[in-house]
Amino acid sequence: MKRVQLIKHLKKHGCDLLREGKKHSLWGDSERGTRAAVPRHTEIDDVLAKEICKQLEIPRP
């Protein structure tokens, strides 16, 4: 999955960018109190994308 697609999915489900790191961006949802690191690769493995959504407690893409 493309990183852009995953970011759109996160925003659609109410997640916000919390901060930028060197190799990862930290996304989270303040209502649920969840956080997940999203790597800055152009391609993100589908298994990793599902795990990020699981950590953020949102539906899988």
Tell me if 61 is assigned to some domain.
Answer: no
Tell me if 32 is assigned to some domain.
Answer: yes
| Digit-coded pLDDT (tens) for 8-50 | 999 999 999 999 999 999 999 988 899 999 999 999 999 999 9
Take residue 33 and report the two structure tokens written for it: 């109190």
Please state, in angstroms and rounded to a whole number, the distance separating the CA atoms of residues 35 and 31. 11
pLDDT interval class at 2 (50, 70, 90): very high
Please state, in angstroms and rounded to a whole number, the distance separating the CA atoms of residues 29 and 19. 13
* CATH code, domain carrying 40: 3.30.920.30
pTM over 0.85: yes
State which residues form the domain around 35: 3-56
In the prediction, which pLDDT does 56 show? Answer: 96
pLDDT interval class at 5 (50, 70, 90): very high
Q: How many domains are contained in the chain?
A: 1
In the prediction, which pLDDT does 27 show? Answer: 98
